[in-house]
Amino acid sequence: MRPIGVFDSGIGGLSVLQALQAELPHERFVYLADTGHAPYGEKSETFVRQRSLAIAQHLIEQHHIKALVVACNTATAAAIHVLRSHHPQLVLVGVEPALKPATQLTRTGRVGVMATQGTVGSEKFQRLLASMDPGIHFEVKACNGLALAIEQSTLPAHASPAQAQVGQLLQQYVTELGPFGPQSGHIDTLVLGCTHYVFAQEQLQQLVGPGVRLISTGEPVARQTHRLLQSAGLLSPQAAPAHAHGRVALYTTGDLEGLKAAAQRWLGLPGDDCHAAVGV
């Protein structure tokens, strides 16, 4: 049974993997966290494109993947078109900030978007933003440092100061984006435009208040992956094992202990499912 490949600059894509597991319980997954080169959001498009191509090639050659989910907004913006050109035979799914769903949910007509500089500054995001309903006002914030702080908050040696920094950055960016709330003229819908930010959504919800909807991309991406695999006749049979352990292998180009801690914390997976990525 060939697996589905999933990659991100770090542990943020685990939020997408979580949704994929729920949507596709009989599939196998290989997840690669490129932590050794994170964060992508503050790197050049050329660098992110090169890393994305190298990771895709590695997952195809070493793990014989049948599909690839680019579980990173920055990598999708910089490289999805190049990946499609290089691997036309591969089922490919990217992620993008959920602006369209936000336009359907907002009642005040004001939507906040938190994303990385790499996503916000990309042509792909600017085209997406320009295609939205002109009657909806988008407040967009490049949240420099936030993805890295969330990443580091999983590392035992950095957990306490990184968690404090996450709290400080969230407060700063929410204040700069606001005001939030269901009242006229306030932002009532907030798009989490980086997969890392999902792991801070409880803190975010407390900051913006219960009347504000938070939107991420994991579930729509999982549904799209299901549709494309079904169309291509690549879904695994229902008889395949549905338990999580043994059907997910996680790799990292960086700190292995950090990946183990994140996998245990957010996916309930044991450390022996995590490995160092070699040759990528």
CA distance 188 to 229: 35
- Active-site entry in 48, 67, 72, 262: 72
CA distance 41 to 33: 14
- Active-site entry in 67, 194, 215, 256: 194
Nearest in space to 12 (alpha carbons), one of 28, 29, 30, 35:
35
CA distance 114 to 90: 30
CA distance 258 to 95: 24
User: Is 194 assigned a catalytic role?
Assistant: yes
Q: Which residues pair with 51 in a beta bridge?
A: none
Q: Which residues pair with 276 in a beta bridge?
A: 252
User: Is 274 assigned a catalytic role?
Assistant: no
Active site residues: 72, 194
